[in-house]
Amino acid sequence: MRRTLKERFRAIESDIRIMANRKTIIQYDVMMGLICAAILSLIELISFFVVPAAEIEYRYFFLAASALMLVQMIGFWAIYQNDFTPKTGVQRFMLYGQPFFVIVIGLAITFAYQGHSNRIDSFLIAIFAASFIQIYPQKRRIILFLFSLILFNGMMLAFHGFAAPFLDGLRLSIMISILGYIYATITYQSHKNRIATMFMLEKAIAKQEKHMQRLKKVYDELESSHKITEAMMLTTSEILKNDRLDDVLQLVLDETIKLIPQGQAGSILILDGDKMSFRAATGYSLQHLQTITLSVDDLFQSKQADIFEPTIIRNLEVFDSSRLSDEKLEQFKARGALVAKSVLSCSFKFAGAFFGSINIDNFDSEDAYDEADKVMISHLAKQLEIIISIHKLYEKAIRPTKYDELTQAYSRRYQKELLGKAFEAAKESHEPLAICTIDINMFKEINDRYGHEIGDECLVYFADSVRANPFENMIFSRVGGDEFSFVFPHAGNAEVSRYVAELRHYLEVNLFVVGGSKEHVTFGCGVAVYPDDGKELAGLIRLSDARMYADKTAMKQN
């Protein structure tokens, strides 16, 4: 795209500023050559018209000098347009011969003037112009000023012989040449010092920038560490509210995806015996993933020298195609679990041994993650190890107070706490709350017939049956012996009746197996609903018990 005249002038102005800084010799030489050629061309042209004829012998020297400088100016403009690079031999000759041209033109005009003093003045102007239009190394300085001195005095000798004008001109020209040489030397040394200073400054700035980058990296790592620590503290506090490790893992996964900028989905796998099982997922169906069976050898890290080293997988489908069996590959494809363009993965341990891996997926780019993300996922894996350790300790210390050891249902004591909170919440929200008491029928006979160990197995069978038929937010507890309690927040009598019918049907279809025989386990059930059956918790509990015993009696009679 062609630049406007205004843009060209701005570009020239910028280049003149660069030239004035004398950062590079070639820029200075080209810009000064261009400016000098333009000024001298204009001055010689003006001189042609304004210098009186009586003062000059060869008037057309001015016109010839103006034309020569105009050609020089055009040549330097071409070099400038080529980014300060002479492209042809003519341009290179023009660039390096410019000071000599100035001297020759200056001396030619000097001897075109009438009078000795005019010649010295013109020589002085020529030396001054040649001194600053370029930055000369020592060899060129010596050649230029010796050339000027010899040429001037040779011409003076030719015109005047060894007369007084020649000797006077020799004295003055030597002094002028030496001053010009000194000025050019100072300019060159100044340039060298400036370049050396600029190099030192640039080196210092580069070093400072490097330190700043390190500081920024440290700051970013500290900031990331702070965010990770903050998120994990939140997760740790959730452990005290949630007894299920899977819920804690899901919370960790969700927080991890928030912390890693390019994270869009992910999963956590836990070692279960000799198999890996999906225990948390975001962006995928956890139920679908849990139908896939994986071994440790199927993991991304299994071929690494250090299994705990974070890794980045680019194009998951291509990567897994070379590692997984066709059957497992099809399972992943069918569940839409191979669409990630990039996966950030890291293993973690528990009690010093491999325990699982966390994977964060990106669907947009194979280059979504970098080394900084690997550092972050490594930090998160360490925090995850701490959280799992805390959860295991919590489970070991606190779980017995909240769960029945045999059936893993809530304990009687913890059930009272949860029921109290649920009842207060129901009163505040004006929502229904159903309390259901269940007692297993003929349990004493099972104990007497098969023994207490089989009786315990029967209780576990019943608890597993309940867990196989979940109800949202249901509080399931064992209150003693073969008696269980169910609390249904936001549910009325109709919903609870349907659930009880489904549970009874499940027990009819899935009989309790004892040795080679099967037992049909039934139960009596009583339900009391707030606020329909009462507004006091104690009364509702008593009513639920009474209805349960009435149900058992009716079942015996039938």
Residue 103 inside a domain? The answer is yes
Residue 221 inside a domain? The answer is no
Residue 213 inside a domain? The answer is no
Q: What is the pLDDT of residue 304?
A: 82
Whether residue 401 contacts residue 453, with contact meaning beta carbons closer than 8 Å, is answered with no
- Note whether 439 and 544 are same-domain residues: yes
Residue 367 inside a domain? The answer is yes
Cross-strand pairs, 271: 276
Residue 224 inside a domain? The answer is no
Per the structure, the count of domains in the chain is 3
- Measured distance CA(323)–CA(316) in Å, rounded: 11
- Note whether 385 and 489 are same-domain residues: no
- Measured distance CA(87)–CA(80) in Å, rounded: 11
**Can you spell out the DSSP letters for 474-503?**
-EEEEEETTEEEEEEET--HHHHHHHHHHH
- Measured distance CA(400)–CA(318) in Å, rounded: 47
- Note whether 544 and 489 are same-domain residues: yes
What is the 3-class SS of 221-283, one letter each residue? HHHHHHHHHHHHHHHHHHHCCCCCHHHHHHHHHHHHHHHCCCCCEEEEEEEECCEEEEEEEEC
Residue where a domain terminates, one of 203, 228, 254: 203
pTM of the entire predicted model: 0.47
* Coil, strand or helix at 523: strand
Output the tens digit of pLDDT for each of the chain's 558 residues.
Answer: 455 766 666 766 666 666 555 567 788 888 888 888 888 888 888 888 887 777 676 777 788 888 888 988 888 888 888 888 888 888 888 888 888 888 888 777 766 664 544 567 777 878 888 887 888 888 988 998 899 888 888 888 887 788 888 888 888 889 988 998 998 888 888 878 877 887 888 888 888 888 788 777 666 665 666 666 665 666 666 655 666 778 888 888 888 888 888 999 999 999 988 888 999 999 998 888 888 888 888 888 877 888 899 999 888 888 887 777 888 888 888 888 888 899 999 999 988 899 999 999 999 999 999 988 888 888 888 888 887 887 777 777 777 788 888 998 999 988 999 999 999 999 999 999 999 999 999 898 888 888 889 999 999 999 999 999 989 889 999 999 999 999 999 999 999 999 999 999 999 999 998 877 888 999 999 999 999 999 999 999 999 999 999 999 998 887
For 256, the domain range is 240-397
Residue where a domain terminates, one of 397, 421, 436: 397
- Note whether 379 and 502 are same-domain residues: no
Q: What is the pLDDT of residue 493?
A: 93
Residue where a domain terminates, one of 367, 397, 427: 397
- From its phi and psi, is residue 115 left (phi > 0), alpha (psi between -120 and 50) or beta? left
Give the C-alpha distances (Å, rounded to integers) separating 536 from 432, 433, 530: 13, 12, 8
Whether residue 132 contacts residue 99, with contact meaning beta carbons closer than 8 Å, is answered with no
Q: What is the pLDDT of residue 222?
A: 59
Residue 506 inside a domain? The answer is yes
- Note whether 97 and 183 are same-domain residues: yes
- Measured distance CA(277)–CA(548) in Å, rounded: 40
Residue 405 inside a domain? The answer is no
Q: What is the pLDDT of residue 433?
A: 95
The pair of structure tokens assigned to 226 is 């702070």
Residue 381 inside a domain? The answer is yes
- Measured distance CA(490)–CA(487) in Å, rounded: 10
- Note whether 378 and 420 are same-domain residues: no
Q: Which of the 8 DSSP states describes residue 470?
A: -
- Note whether 169 and 58 are same-domain residues: yes
Whether residue 57 contacts residue 42, with contact meaning beta carbons closer than 8 Å, is answered with no
- Measured distance CA(182)–CA(131) in Å, rounded: 9
Q: What is the pLDDT of residue 509?
A: 93
- Note whether 448 and 387 are same-domain residues: no
Q: What is the pLDDT of residue 116?
A: 45
- Note whether 124 and 174 are same-domain residues: yes
